Amino acid sequence: MRYVSYELQVIKEFIGNEPISSIAKRLNRSPIGLEMKINRLGLANTKSFSGMMTAGEFARILNIERNTIMGWISRHGLESKRRITRHKRKFTFIEIEVFWKWAKQNKEKIDFSKLDVNALPPEPDWVQSERGVEKTMKIYKSWTTKEVKILIELAEKKTYKEIASLLGRTPYSVEKKYSRLKTTTQVKG
């Protein structure tokens, strides 16, 4: 049974906002058949269909961890959208143009030398000049178990600045981690 134009319009409207099973139910179609139709229409490729990419795709292109992207979203104002793809899985999407506007205001957070030319088209003109700028990047890195043990042992004896120097972290990072440890009761005090 062929899809009529009304059904195609419904698919395009709800894809990414509802699970495939809900759209299929709305159209009185099977989820498997609908999924095959979505693939044939090319709607499965998020970038070409919507101009958006997942946080993971951005991370791969920028050669950074996905958690860094999520930190930019939660703490530094990078706009994103949560969308449902395929069945019920939610992803974080970022529009490429929105990213470039944000990146222009937050150049110090990005190492443009790791970014291939036109990896995120359309690439603004200012990016090329940033590629040649050598930066000391703030790199977000996870705390290891060993670092946490050292922090707990030294927190009562040394300043955050001294601990930060030993661990190769910022005093703010050390203070923030210790505060989180105290609130999760991993540390007495």
Q: Which of 20-29, 34-43, 55-64, 73-82 has the lowest mean pLDDT?
A: 34-43
Same domain? For 56 and 108 the reply is yes
Q: Count structural domains, the chain.
A: 3
Same domain? For 158 and 85 the reply is no
Same domain? For 125 and 56 the reply is yes
Question: Binning pLDDT at 50, 70 and 90, where does residue 105 land?
Answer: very high
Domain finish residue from 103, 131, 159? 131
Between CA 152 and CA 162, with CA 157 as vertex, the angle to 5 degrees is 85
What residues have CB less than 8 Å from 173, skipping those under 6 apart?
Answer: 164
| Secondary structure (H, E, C), 137-176 | CCCCCCCCHHHHHHHHHHCCCCCHHHHHHHHCCCHHHHHH
Same domain? For 93 and 64 the reply is yes
Question: Binning pLDDT at 50, 70 and 90, where does residue 48 land?
Answer: very low
Q: Is the pLDDT of residue 177 over 60?
A: yes
**What pLDDT does residue 45 have?**
46
Q: Is the pLDDT of residue 87 over 60?
A: no
Q: Is the pLDDT of residue 172 over 90?
A: no
Same domain? For 124 and 55 the reply is yes
Sign of the dihedral through C-alpha 100, 104, 109, 110? positive
Same domain? For 57 and 110 the reply is yes
**What pLDDT does residue 118 have?**
85
What is the mean pLDDT of the segment spanning 123-136?
81
Report yes or no on whether pTM surpasses 0.85.
no
Domain extent for 126: 48-131
Same domain? For 108 and 171 the reply is no
Question: Binning pLDDT at 50, 70 and 90, where does residue 131 land?
Answer: confident
Domain finish residue from 131, 159, 175? 131
